[in-house]
Amino acid sequence: MISIFQGIATIVGCMIMQQPVTSCVPYGVSQQPALETQSAHIPQKTGDAIDVDLTAQSALVWDIETDTVLYERSANEERPIASLNKLLSTVIARSLISPNATVTIPPDVRKAQREGVGIKLIPGEHVTAGSLFAASLIPSANDAMVALAIATKGSESDFVAYANEYAASHGLFHTVLANSTGLQGGTQHSTAHDVMRMLMIAYNDSYLRPFLSQGKGEVISFEGSKHTFVSTDKLLGTYMPILAAKTGYTLAAKENLAIITVGPKGQKIGAVILGSDDRFQDMKIVVEYIYRNYTWP
């Protein structure tokens, strides 16, 4: 059967690409596999090692092909997620503006630069929206995300209002944004399950997907200024293959990380870590636990 998560990703993907839902069916809605065929692909738990020892408050791991949950801890608990909300913000901005559009950097980026990570965009300079998508996801640049929010909805507050309506209408019932970036302040929260949905929607967008695993990049303004950046994901380039990843951190949210990785036998899994003291170590522990204790048909 087609899962709820796949259905959401399909519908949002169609909306982003401005295609009818019936003509955009990446998971084969018109040719549903028999239940027994689907079940034959579900990973089977074959071991029961000592329980996972994590510092994270919430965690979730799932099989990408079947959407089978393989491990969860307080995965429906509402928590601040910091910059993981840029997964949702960029998907929404992507539905509202062309990557080729010219964006004028607004004065509002100064506040975002003071409060968190930025790439030193200069108010008044002009850049492409596409370069701002890259900067929002790869180094998690708050000034780039604010510039996109204002370019698409006129103000960050109007973007947030639209984003919250969008989240509620697309099945993200436990997600509330207070700003476009995830910076601390206001009422904002999500859950590991909702972050899973955000990650899959962004990953299924062929334009955004490369930015989720890219190590570095740059924004070059039409005026000639260059803003270089590197990824915040320390797992890139390690033994763990990263197909997609997004980080997030504030004092209130602590360390957060969402990834898609692939195992030695091609097992593709997604994982979310929220409220961690050491997100990268927690992620290694939970992923290795899955590979030790599950087998794939």
Q: Is residue 249 pLDDT above 50, yes or no? A: yes
Q: pLDDT digits over 68-88, tens only?
A: 999 999 999 999 999 999 999
Instruction: Give the pLDDT confidence score for residue 38 in this predicted structure.
Output: 55
Instruction: Give the pLDDT confidence score for residue 239 in this predicted structure.
Output: 94
Please state, in angstroms and rounded to a whole number, the distance separating the CA atoms of residues 286 and 49. 12
- Give the pTM: 0.86
Q: Residues 273-294: what's their mean pLDDT?
A: 96
Instruction: Give the pLDDT confidence score for residue 39 in this predicted structure.
Output: 64
Q: Which phi and psi angles does 113 have, rounded to 5°?
A: -70, -35
CATH classification number, 4-295, choose in 3.40.710.10, 3.30.2130.10, 3.30.70.990, 3.30.365.10:
3.40.710.10
Q: Residues 164-176: what's their mean pLDDT?
A: 96
Please state, in angstroms and rounded to a whole number, the distance separating the CA atoms of residues 5 and 2. 8
Instruction: Give the pLDDT confidence score for residue 180 in this predicted structure.
Output: 98
- Is 234 annotated for ligand binding? no
Instruction: Give the pLDDT confidence score for residue 35 in this predicted structure.
Output: 46
User: What region does 69 belong to: left with phi over 0, alpha with psi -120 to 50, or beta?
Assistant: beta
What is the separation of C-alpha 248 from the centre of its chain, rounded to a whole number of angstroms? 10
Catalytic residue list: 83, 86, 140
Q: Which helix (H) or strand (E) holds 161?
A: helix 156-169
Residue 67: DSSP 8-state: -
